[in-house]
Amino acid sequence: MAGKLMHAVQYDSYGGGAAGLKHVEVPVPSANKDEVLLKVEATSVNPVDWTMQKGVMRPILPRRFPWIPCTDVAGEVVAVGPGVENFKTGDKAVAVLSQFSGGGLAEFVVAEKSSSVARPPEVSAAEGAGLPIAGLTALKALTESAGVKLDGSGVGHYAVQLAKLGNTHVTATCGARNIEFVKNLGADEVLDYKTPEGAALKSPSGKKYDAVIHCASGIPWSTFEPNLSENGKVVDITPGPSAMMTFAVKKLTFSKKQLVPLLLIPNGENLNYLVNLVKERKLKTVIDSKHPLSKAEDAWAKSIDGHATGKIIVEP
């Protein structure tokens, strides 16, 4: 592959949204020690990808310009670096790339062997590529932050299914158009977030929640508080300054009701667990839309728009 060029999509400054993405030809990267080179079959776009472009995490991320974004990929191994024993050329894999390296919106990408897992034939490339950030966030929110024991929006649609695999009673909120869809994922009760009851997060059966996985943004603690059980927790996956303040106050006052901010540090073991759940048909990746790499800006705009149902996939 040395010297070969590939099609990639990158941005070279903060801001610009979908119009800031540029189609370029760049050298195919090489797999170094403990890395595999993947021919990308599918990449999913997550809100963090365009949040980085906005400059919200400057100056830490992105690490440099120009920047090829996206971290969630499925692909075929076309080369392995020294020290890689778990993959060989021709294997199919799902990988989560570091936010410090990115690179998913391209024809080829290198991935760490420790963050790459085998993709069995029962799991399509798009189903696999949907899993890393959204699936791992839902899994961590439920198991580590909320303490649900499992024997199963992007994040929200995985969270509902995983929560049902943990034999919990699930009340979910979503837009009116998705009520049947979310019921079909297994939710016991579904609220339209634009109705007064939905905005108040009130369970139709009067239940108090032991855990709320907060996948939206901007809902104040005062809305959650009356709906929580005595030891109820809100796991906030997009904690802003006011959530961090609530987190500190609840901790310092030994409140039984807690807010738990979540920051995902992806790991290959959990990704493998999710891939296997999809293989066993216990978990599904719902695809909102598929876009060719040549139209990656459409996928980007769709994610920024905030009205996807499931995962937005880009395919070379």
Ligand X SMILES: NC(=O)c1ccc[n+]([C@@H]2O[C@H](COP(=O)([O-])OP(=O)(O)OC[C@H]3O[C@@H](n4cnc5c(N)ncnc54)[C@H](OP(=O)(O)O)[C@@H]3O)[C@@H](O)[C@H]2O)c1
Sites of contact with ligand X (CB under 6 A): 46-48, 51, 133-134, 137, 153-156, 173-175, 177-178, 193, 215-217, 237-238, 262-264, 303, 306-309
Instruction: Quote the least distance from Cβ 155 to ligand X, whole Å.
Output: 4
The answer to whether the beta carbons of residues 20 and 11 sit under 8 Å apart is yes
All residues at 6 or more sequence positions from 188 whose CB lies less than 8 Å from its CB, including other chains: 169, 170, 171
Select 137 or 285, whichever has its Cβ closest to ligand X: 137
Minimal distance in Å, beta carbon 167 to ligand X?
23
Residue 193 Cβ, how far from ligand X at the closest point, in Å?
A: 3
Nearer to ligand X among residue 47 and residue 104 (C-beta): 47
d(CA 30, CA 51): 28
Query: Inter-axis angle of helices 132-140 and 268-279, to 10 degrees?
Result: 100
CB of 135 to ligand X, least distance (A): 10
For ligand X, the closer CB: 213 or 275: 213
The answer to whether the beta carbons of residues 170 and 187 sit under 8 Å apart is: yes
Q: Shortest Cβ distance from residue 6 to ligand X (Å)?
A: 27
Q: For residues 180 and 162, is the Cβ–Cβ distance under 8 A?
A: no
Closer residue to ligand X (CB): 222 or 253: 222
Residue with smaller CB distance to ligand X, 35 or 303:
303
User: Which phi-psi region, left, alpha or beta, contains residue 250 (left: φ > 0; alpha: ψ -120 to 50)?
Assistant: alpha
Greatest distance between any 2 Cα atoms in the chain: 63
